[in-house]
């Protein structure tokens, strides 16, 4: 059993509902539990929080994520993966990951977060931030 870590997200009020939805849609090893939500503050727990943090950063780049540890809150915004697999799909119809007969899992390199810039590992295409937001929200 991997220990759960506790986080606090401070984000602009108009992005909290979209962040909440995105966090709720994470499953499996990436699952998170939202414990408390206020106007501009979401608290959640996760055992493997990297994808949760990535989603939050793409949807709301100015939000601040802190980890609660021993009664302290510590900023963790740099604690993001270099690659992301499985939570996004490539918008390029010719990409190998878009072919129904190919069981290839989409994989993206995270080139930058603000603005969100992700590059498909297979076809090299950069995914437009609005496409990312549409897929994640």
Positions in the binding site for Zn ion (CB under 5 A) = 90, 92, 95, 120, 122-123
Q: What are the start-end ranges of the E strands in the chain?
A: 5-10, 32-38, 41-46, 64-69, 72-75, 83-85, 107-112, 117-120, 126-127
Contact (Cβ atoms closer than 8 angstroms) between residue 56 and residue 12: no
Query: To the nearest whole angstrom, how small is the minimum distance from the Cβ of residue 86 to Zn ion?
Result: 14
As measured in angstroms, the least distance from the Cβ of 89 to Zn ion is 9
> Please, which residue, 123 or 131, has the CB nearer to Zn ion?
123
Please, what is the minimum distance in Å from the beta carbon of residue 92 to Zn ion? 5
Q: In the numeric block, which tokens belong to residue 53?
A: 């943090």
- Closest to Zn ion by CB, 26 or 120: 120
């Amino acid at each position: 059993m991997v220990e759960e870590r506790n986080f606090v997200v401070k984000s602009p009020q108009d992005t909290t509902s979209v962040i909440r939805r995105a966090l709720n849609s994470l499953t499996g090893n990436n699952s998170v539990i939202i414990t408390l939500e206020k106007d501009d503050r979401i608290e959640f727990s996760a055992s493997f929080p990297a994808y949760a943090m990535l989603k939050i950063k793409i949807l709301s780049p100015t939000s601040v994520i802190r980890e609660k540890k021993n009664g302290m809150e510590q900023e963790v915004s740099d604690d993001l993966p270099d690659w992301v697999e499985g939570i996004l799909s490539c918008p390029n119809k010719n990409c190998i990951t878009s072919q129904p007969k190919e069981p290839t899992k989409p994989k993206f390199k995270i080139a930058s977060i603000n603005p969100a810039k992700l590059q498909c590992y297979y076809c090299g295409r950069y995914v437009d931030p609005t496409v990312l937001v549409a897929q994640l929200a």
